[in-house]
Amino acid sequence: MEKLKDSLSAFFDKKTIIQKKMAVAWIASVVVLFIFGMIFSGGAVSFNGIAEATETSVSLQSAVEVIKVHVQVGEEVHEGDTLVELSLKDLRSQLTEKKRELESLEGRGTQNSATVDQKIAEIQADLNTRSNTLKFEIRKLEDEYKQNKAIASRLKSLKGGTSSGDSDAMAIRIKSLKQELAVLQSNAATQIKLLRGSQGKQVKTTSAELDALKQEIKMLEEQLEEEVIVAKGSYVVATIQAREGEKVDAFNPILTLTRKEPTQVRGYLNENLYDGIEVGAYVEIKSAAKGHVVQGKVIGMSSQIVPFPIRLLKMPEFPIYGREVNISIPENSGFLLGEKVIVTEISGLKSLMTKTEGDK
């Protein structure tokens, strides 16, 4: 009987030890889960937003006249569809004027070059005439000088007489004529060099002006190709801001296009949490109506505090202020334009996994 009691006592002691170990393990697990929860999910920022689509404004760099509008508000258009026909009369007038300037500049450049060439030819002709005259006189004097020296050598009795003086004067005259010829040639060469230099500068200046005019003409011709504007993708016509026959000033919108489905979310972060999220953060966007979820990325944040839209206020009579947050989402997100959504930051371990998958 006592043996049985000892066995039972030992059994219950072991059970107590196991229970204590299990209790400690359970407490440790709870603590670990709490810590992980604080690190990886606690403090995630959540706020409301509205699904929107980016708008594209159709406008031109010059004044236009609307000839015909081929679309209506709300109509879906695809790449290549004609949107509007325009008349660019002012642009055509500018193009005609620029082409006239180009022709005039090309003619003026040719004329200036021909004028310089003519002046150079005149200088060269005058140089040749005067050079030939001087060279003829020099040769004549040199021949006479040689003859006098030959006579002087044969008639030694005349040495030191008048002939010697004449020969010296002749030698000085020859030297003077040669110097005059050298100066004449040098002056002509300088004038020709200056004329050719000015011609080169004129050519460079004219060439630069011609290039600038040709570039302007090219730009005008490219703008004239926009007299018929076509869609460059799939859109929905959001607004038409000009009627047929109306003149529209430069850069004023003629019509605006928007995507058929949302491509971004404009969220509003309470001013008490305005620095609770950063550009580049990954977020989950959930439909407030049907619970549909997609992932997005914060691509921009406003630099000022603004009032929340009325539809995001639970009590419109009590306005709330915060910071706008722009979030990009996939084109086929499944949201409706203007749909209210709930944005939650993907933080901790889940954020790290999302970034890693995105990098792949």
Which pTM does this prediction carry? 0.46
**HEC letters along 292-355:** CEEEEEEEEEEEEEEECCHHHCCCCCCCCEEEEEEEECCCCCCCCCCCEEEEEECCHHHHHHHH
Give the pLDDT confidence of 206-221 residue by residue, as tens digits. Answer: 677 778 888 888 887 7
Q: Would the pLDDT of 224 be above 90?
A: no
Q: Would the pLDDT of 65 be above 60?
A: yes
Q: Would the pLDDT of 55 be above 90?
A: no
The residue among 274 and 285 whose pLDDT is bigger is 285
pLDDT at 305 (0 to 100): 92
Which range (61-65, 160-164, 240-244, 265-269) has the least confidence? 160-164
Confidence of residue 24 (pLDDT cuts 50, 70, 90): low
Give the pLDDT confidence of 172-183 residue by residue, as tens digits. Answer: 888 888 888 888
Beta-carbon count within 10 A of 248 CB: 19
pLDDT at 204 (0 to 100): 61
Q: Mean pLDDT throughout 261-283?
A: 88
CA dihedral defined by 227, 228, 234, 239, rounded to 10 degrees? 70
Q: Mean pLDDT throughout 54-67?
A: 85
